[in-house]
Amino acid sequence: MADNTVTLVGNVTRDPELRFTNSGMAICAFGLAVNRRWPSRSTPGEWEEKVSFFDVVAWGQFGENVAESVGKGNRVIVCGRLDQQTWEDKDTGKNRSKIEVVAESIGPDLKWATAVVTRNERSGGGGFADREPDFDPGPSGSRGGGRGRAAAQPDYDEEPF
């Protein structure tokens, strides 16, 4: 089974935009620039550089926390999964697509800055139930749609640190 996990370290290119779905679920989106440098093979003593740009999204209370905590220019570490979005262009009618990072965790890069962590009160989750669903639990709560294996349920009363 393939794993779809990515960790990126880069600079936020635009202030996070916080929106809400029709059902009231928060979604926060921002851009991330990741720089890569390596010594030039053609010119000794010189460096070459390439920048890659990524769209990052965070859902639910996590997304609200990101919108409140992260700003343009901040250096952050993003852990998450890649997700391909497809749609039909309204103007041309052609199919379009892009790949974005659905964040599971975001934090400051403390190599270049300091941070103060403020814990939020727990308000009915902040965990699995508050995130974008990526499977249908089926009638018995199992991943197999009722084939007998119960899904592991995290204990949200336990503090993460």
- Residues of the chain short of pLDDT 50, as ranges, are 126-131, 133-154, 156, 161
Regarding the domain delimited by 6-118, which CATH topology (the fold level of the hierarchy) does it fall under? OB fold (Dihydrolipoamide Acetyltransferase, E2P) (2.40.50)
Q: Using alpha carbons, select from 85, 103, 97, 86 the residue that is nearest to residue 12.
A: 103
What residue type is 59 in one-letter code? W
Domain ranges of the chain: 6-118, 120-161
pLDDT of residue 84: 94
pLDDT of residue 123: 64
pTM above 0.75, yes or no: no
Region of 3 please: left (phi>0), alpha (psi -120 to 50) or beta: beta
